[in-house]
Structure 1
C-alpha cells in the first residue's frame, strides 16, 4: 500500500469536539462557485449528481444528510486491505456496508516506518480513523463527513485518516467524484485522494492543505508523471473528479478538465482511497495543531463502454 499508520489519543471531551465542529463548519458550500461542467455528469455547485452519466453507471452516492456516525465508530477496521471484504467493526448499517478505513497500526507515506515513496521525512502519521472521522450536520444542517487530523500536544505521530468506499474497491475503470473543502488548514497536513493498486496510481486531489490542489498521473509503465496545478486553494469548496476509461484518465476540478493523460493508464483493478495524511514537504505539524476537511457528498460509477460525451 502507498500509506500505513499508528498511536493512541484521548478525546478531549464532547464540549471541545462540538466547539471544533462549529468553528470548522460555518461556511456553506457556495451555490454559484463553479463554472459549467465539462465532466460526464455536468456536475454543478454543491448538488450531488444522481443517476447514470454517459458511459458511467452510478453504483454509489452518499450525501450524508440526516446521518450521524459519532467519533469512535470508524474503529476495529481490519487489515484485509484492498478487498471488498474489508470492514470496520465499529460501524453499523449502511456505513458498515459502504465504508472501510485504513486500520490502526498502518503508517502514512511520510512516516519513517513506511516511506513507501522513498521520502526522508522524520515525522509522519498513524492512521486513526477511530478518533479523526465522524459524520453529522454542519452548523447550517448540511450532512457531512468530517475528517479532523491532529498532532497530540505531547508531540509524536500525527493522527491521520484514509477512508475507502467499499462498493468500488478493486474496480477496473469508472468515474469518481466528491464535493470537499478543507475548513481549517494548518502546516503539515495534506491529502492524496487516489486510485491505487498493483503499483499503478492516479491522484485526483493531492498536496499540502496550505498549498493548492494538484493532480498527478503516474503511468503504470514508469514514465514521468503528469502534473496539473489548479492554482486553487484547498480552503475553497471544490468538486473533484476523475474519469478512468480504457487508455485515458481525465482529471477535473469544479467541472473543468485540468489534466488528460493516456500514458500507462491502468487496465487492472484499483481502489478509490480518500487518503489524508502528514505532509511530504515543508513544515511539520506543530504539537497540539489540527486541521479539518469536510465532505458533503461522494459519488462513484462503473464504466459501461464508450467515451464520455
Structure 2
C-alpha cells in the first residue's frame, strides 16, 4: 500500500441540508485531491463470497451488526423490501440532490428506485444516467445500540465498520461511504469517509475536522483500484480514526477524532470533483458483498 496524508483548510465548502433520512450529503473536499495511479486488477471480477469473514467480538470491540444479503434477491426499485427492511433503509429519497447538484454544478441525485437491488447475494448499485440526470443512491444500515438522543437506528458513538466491496471502473462516479454527525453541524463535528474515491481511480480514506472555522482533513491514499474485491475497515475511537484496506493500515488521523454520535451512509454519487461528471453513456455497478459493525467493548 501507498499511504499519503494531506491536510487542508477549506472555507465555505458546506452546502444546504437535504431533506433526507440519513442527513445531508456533505461536500467531501478530499475528493479534489490527486493521488497515485491505481494498481490494475488482473481479474476485474474475482469470485465473491457470501459468508461474512469479519464477524464476532474482537479485542476492545463488541460485534453488533452484520449483513451478507443471503436472504434473497430484490429487484431494482424494491430495496429494501420485506427481506431487508428490518436492517436497511434505502436512504435518500428519489430526487434528493447529491453533493454536486446541491452546489448547482450539475443535474445529478439519489434515485434508489432506479439504482438499488440485491442480486447474487450482494447489494448492487446500477450507476447510470437518464435524460441527462446522473443517478446514485445512499442506503443506510439500521445499526442497534443507538447512542443518540432521541434514539435513532443508525447512530453510534465510536465504532468499527468493515465492508467487502468492488466496483466497475466508472470515471466520474464515486463512493463516499461515510460517518456523518447526527447534529448535522459540519465541519465542527467532523466527517469520516472510507472507502472514498472516483471509481476509475484509487481508494482512499479521509478524516475531516474543523480548523480555524473551516474544514480541514487528513487523506490516506492506497494504491488500489476499485475493480477487485477489497475489505475496507475504519476504526473510530476517542484517540484516532484509522483506515485499513485488506487488513493493512493506510494510517491513522489523530488530529481531532469526532466526539459526537455519527450515522453511517453508503453514499454513492457522481460529478466530484466538479465538473468531473461521467460521460452520458457511462454505466455499471458497485457491489457490497457484506458489512460488519462493532461498538467499543
- Cα distance in 2 for residues equivalent to 1:287 and 1:49: 38
Distance apart, 1:105 and its partner CA = 3.0
The partner residue of 1:160 within 122, 125, 136 is 136
After superposition, give the CA deviation of every residue in 1:29-62 in whole Å (9 maximum; x if it has no partner). 4x9xxxxxxxxxxxxx985222111111111111
Q: Does 1:187 align with 2:165?
A: no
Q: Does 1:174 align with 2:156?
A: no
For 2:88, the equivalent position in structure 1 comes to 99
Q: Does 1:129 align with 2:112?
A: yes
For 1:3, the equivalent position in structure 2 comes to 25
Distance apart, 1:259 and its partner CA = 2.0
- Cα distance in 1 for residues equivalent to 2:229 and 2:215: 32
For 2:46, the equivalent position in structure 1 comes to 27
For 1:213, the equivalent position in structure 2 comes to 203
Higher relative contact order (CA 8 A, sep 6+): 2
Distance apart, 1:242 and its partner CA = 0.5
Q: Secondary structure at the match of 2:224?
A: strand
For 2:255, the equivalent position in structure 1 comes to 263
After superposition, give the CA deviation of every residue in 1:155-176 in whole Å (9 maximum; x if it has no partner). 2x21111111111512101110
Pairwise CA RMSD: 2.3
- Cα distance in 1 for residues equivalent to 2:107 and 2:253: 31
Alignment of 1:185-264 (within 5 A): 185-197=169-181, 198=184, 199=186, 200-221=190-211, 222=214, 224-264=216-256
For 2:295, the equivalent position in structure 1 comes to 302
The answer as to whether partners of 1:226 and 1:261 remain within 8 angstroms in 2 is: yes
The list of structure 1 runs, each at least 4 consecutive aligned residues, that deviate by more than 6 angstroms after superposition, is none
The answer as to whether partners of 2:175 and 2:195 remain within 8 angstroms in 1 is: yes
Give the TM-score normalised by the residue count of structure 2.
0.74
User: Residue 220 and residue 177 in structure 1: after superposition, are their counterparts in 2 closer, same or farther (change >3 A)?
Assistant: farther
Give the TM-score normalised by the residue count of structure 1.
0.72
Unaligned runs of 5+ in 2: 1-22, 27-43, 145-153
Q: Secondary structure at the match of 2:85?
A: helix
- Cα distance in 2 for residues equivalent to 1:235 and 1:254: 14
- Cα distance in 2 for residues equivalent to 1:126 and 1:263: 32
User: Residue 97 and residue 47 in structure 1: after superposition, are their counterparts in 2 closer, same or farther (change >3 A)?
Assistant: closer
The answer as to whether partners of 1:201 and 1:220 remain within 8 angstroms in 2 is: no
Paired residues, number: 239
Distance apart, 1:134 and its partner CA = 0.7
The partner residue of 1:59 within 64, 73, 82 is 64
- Cα distance in 2 for residues equivalent to 1:124 and 1:247: 40
- Cα distance in 2 for residues equivalent to 1:245 and 1:92: 34
After superposition, give the CA deviation of every residue in 1:176-196 in whole Å (9 maximum; x if it has no partner). 0110000x2222100101111
Distance apart, 1:286 and its partner CA = 2.0
